[in-house]
Structure 1
Amino acid sequence: MWMYLGLLAALFLGLHNLCKKHAVQGNEVFPVLLGTITAGFILLLPLYLSSRFSPEYTKEIGFYIDPISLKVHGFIFIKSMIMAASWVLAYQALKHLPITIVTPIRSAGPFFTFIGAIIIYQERPTFWQWIGFFLIIFSVMLYSRIGKKEGINFKKNKWIFAIIGATFLGASSGLYDKFLIQYQKLTPQTLQFWFCWYTILILLVILVFTWFPYTEKRKNFKWRWTIPAVGILLQTADYFYFKALQDPEALIMLLSAIKRSQILIAVLVGGVIFKEHNKRKKLVPLIGIMIGVFLIMYTS
């Protein structure tokens, strides 16, 4: 069951990535990011209020937000800092790179999660799962060669380093999620609500120094319907992902890889919508990544 929940998370993440590309194009990144997280927080706020004023009903429908200790608040704040840094890097890269380049690089995230899962959680992969992960990494290298044809030098372009950094931080957050869900026994909605709250506070601090004081930057900001859509789709994807993680049998290394199937939406649909180049050539490494995901899913 947890694998199917992972596929649902991948579906909403793929749609989330398409909306995100539209939201940041020619726009100020930090206020866009704040808008998306705020939209997710507003989506979850009724659940928090219902948990405080009508706890029995909220428990009955399965969306009760539990009271948590100060220590657990600290754990969630750490996750917020990790993901805020990852998103800032990822949004900046997405603003300057084609979505069909950014998304495949992000698909290398399961490799970092894979290594962490072995070292931290002692998850044991099979031979074919090793093959699957190395196939994903090799396919991403193929994308780098295609990217050069679009004027993107993978050794000198700072946005490439930004998306690699975002990928590493995102993978670290994925490993941390297992600790929060399985070891701290947090429910998905409890983690999501407080995560959004602390991330908003972090982003407001960043904006105080980088956006609010500058009139020109504020004028350049463009509100788009995709900004709240990104937040809503992300929280929906995270809910299914955290529900999958609640299963004691769920392996974070496999779940992380399953989420990479979002690349189908980003490359096939996104390439058409944003009219990006070399779509046919990108299908070759795309197939390699999907075969890698298949090996990970079905050779456990």
Structure 2
Amino acid sequence: MTWLYFALLAPLFWSLSNIVDKFAINHITSNCISFIFLLSIGNIFFAGAIYAYFQPTDLDLHIAVINICSGLAIFLQYFAYSYSLEDMDVSVVIPIHQSEPIFVLAASILIFHAIPTSWQVTGFAMIVVGILILCMSRQTIRGLGHPRHVVVLLVSAFFGAVSTVISDEILQLKSLESVLIFNFAGYALGGMLLLLVPKWRRLITNDLKTLNFKQFGIFGVTNIFDVGGYVFFMAALAAGGGAALVSVVVSIHPLFVLALGFLATKLFPKFIAEDIAPGGVVRKFLSIVIIVVGVAVISLQAM
């Protein structure tokens, strides 16, 4: 059962990263562009460290290019995530972000012509219902809060699914180390490409001039938490948990975020301001449970 402990540690580390992300985007950087730039470029150091330590010998230019595209998809996933995180509670962002299995299922249908089972369709419906409940608000006409951000987060989940499908295929041909190197490199490349847009380059440059060593350190911390979660996720797979079972356990990620967001708001209200009103917490919890069950139903059908 070692895989289970690793699988539980993965969402814990990712949740810690999400809470630090929320603080950083609201209190350190002045905009989401600077935030995602700082969030992404640190990955080049992780890519270099993996290469220096493991020195994989199965590097291939053609596969590397495809692998870098997978990393760019991860960048686009987090680009959309950061855009919505600036305005929404992290405990709302992450569950919608968790809808990635919907697009993995869609990709398997479109690319591999797989026929979904009735259980997979049920899981799909549950994720959609959970998202709708999560976003309900009396302040909007149709009861759907932040419709623009919901669409952006679904786009984020789509790019996450693209990266997952590509990486899953490449892992059948190449070692984990080489896949991680180019995934991280592609993610960092996405951040560097932001500098090609003059307006974004000015935003990034202005923020970099004002940040101090401690603030840069906070981005280092969130990168370590994020990479740590990914390492534990891979460790759970290596320990024999199986992709479907590990994915189901890791899907409780939003529950960790809800709990940590509630705790952070109570302890540090000046830095984190999640909606912790009883009605809001109950609604979030109900929607997260529905989404997690939907993810579990889709994932277990892949066994």
Fold agreement, TM-score > 0.5: yes
- Structure 1: distance between partners of 2:228 and 2:41: 14
Moved more, 230-239 or 162-171: 230-239
- Structure 1: distance between partners of 2:45 and 2:96: 31
Residues 1:238 and 2:240 aligned together: no
- Structure 1: distance between partners of 2:242 and 2:8: 13
Identity of aligned residues (%): 18
Kept in 2, the 8 Å contact 1:89–1:165? The answer is yes
Q: Give the residue type in structure 1 aligned to 2:130.
A: S
Residue 173 of structure 1 corresponds to which residue in structure 2?
163
- Structure 1: distance between partners of 2:247 and 2:259: 21
- Counterparts of residues 1-300 of structure 1 (less than 5 Å): 4=4, 6-26=7-27, 27=29, 28-52=31-55, 65-120=56-111, 127-146=118-137, 149=139, 154=144, 157-182=147-172, 184-187=173-176, 189-209=177-197, 210-214=199-203, 216-219=206-209, 223-242=215-234, 250-251=242-243, 256-273=247-264, 274-277=272-275, 278-295=280-297
Kept in 1, the 8 Å contact 2:47–2:185? The answer is no
The change in CA–CA distance for 1:180 and 1:297 in structure 2 (over 3 A counts) is closer
Q: Give the residue type in structure 2 aligned to 1:32.
A: F
Kept in 1, the 8 Å contact 2:43–2:185? The answer is no
What CA deviation, in whole Å up to 9, does each residue of 1:159-180 have, x standing for no partner? Answer: 3322221111112211222112
Kept in 1, the 8 Å contact 2:68–2:186? The answer is yes
TM-score (norm 1): 0.77
Q: Give the residue type in structure 2 aligned to 1:180.
A: I
How far 1:268 sits from its partner (Å)? 1.9
- Structure 1: distance between partners of 2:95 and 2:239: 28
Moved more, 289-298 or 136-145: 289-298
What CA deviation, in whole Å up to 9, does each residue of 1:63-95 have, x standing for no partner? Answer: xx3340111111112112212222111111111
- Structure 2: distance between partners of 1:193 and 1:96: 32
- Structure 2: distance between partners of 1:126 and 1:286: 23
Kept in 1, the 8 Å contact 2:14–2:226? The answer is yes
The change in CA–CA distance for 1:151 and 1:44 in structure 2 (over 3 A counts) is farther
- Structure 1: distance between partners of 2:141 and 2:192: 35
- Structure 1: distance between partners of 2:243 and 2:122: 17
Aligned to 1:71, what secondary structure does the other structure show?
helix
How far 1:204 sits from its partner (Å)? 1.5
How far 1:259 sits from its partner (Å)? 3.0
- Structure 1: distance between partners of 2:224 and 2:49: 14
Moved more, 113-122 or 191-200: 113-122
The change in CA–CA distance for 1:296 and 1:228 in structure 2 (over 3 A counts) is same
Kept in 1, the 8 Å contact 2:40–2:188? The answer is yes
How far 1:121 sits from its partner (Å)? 5.4
> C-alpha root-mean-square deviation of aligned residues, in Å?
3.5
- Structure 1: distance between partners of 2:126 and 2:186: 37
The change in CA–CA distance for 1:181 and 1:8 in structure 2 (over 3 A counts) is farther
- Structure 1: distance between partners of 2:114 and 2:167: 15
Aligned to 2:107, what secondary structure does the other structure show?
helix
Residue 267 of structure 2 corresponds to which residue in structure 1?
none
- Structure 2: distance between partners of 1:275 and 1:217: 23
Aligned to 2:49, what secondary structure does the other structure show?
helix
- Structure 1: distance between partners of 2:132 and 2:146: 15
How far 1:295 sits from its partner (Å)? 4.3
Kept in 1, the 8 Å contact 2:26–2:86? The answer is yes
Moved more, 118-127 or 234-243: 118-127
Q: How many aligned positions are there?
A: 284
Residue segments in structure 1 that go unaligned for 5+ positions in a row: 53-64
How far 1:16 sits from its partner (Å)? 2.0
What CA deviation, in whole Å up to 9, does each residue of 1:246-299 have, x standing for no partner? Answer: 7999456x6555432100111122133234222233222123233334545667
Q: Give the residue type in structure 2 aligned to 1:213.
A: R
Aligned to 2:57, what secondary structure does the other structure show?
coil
Residue 57 of structure 1 corresponds to which residue in structure 2?
none
- Structure 2: distance between partners of 1:165 and 1:293: 17
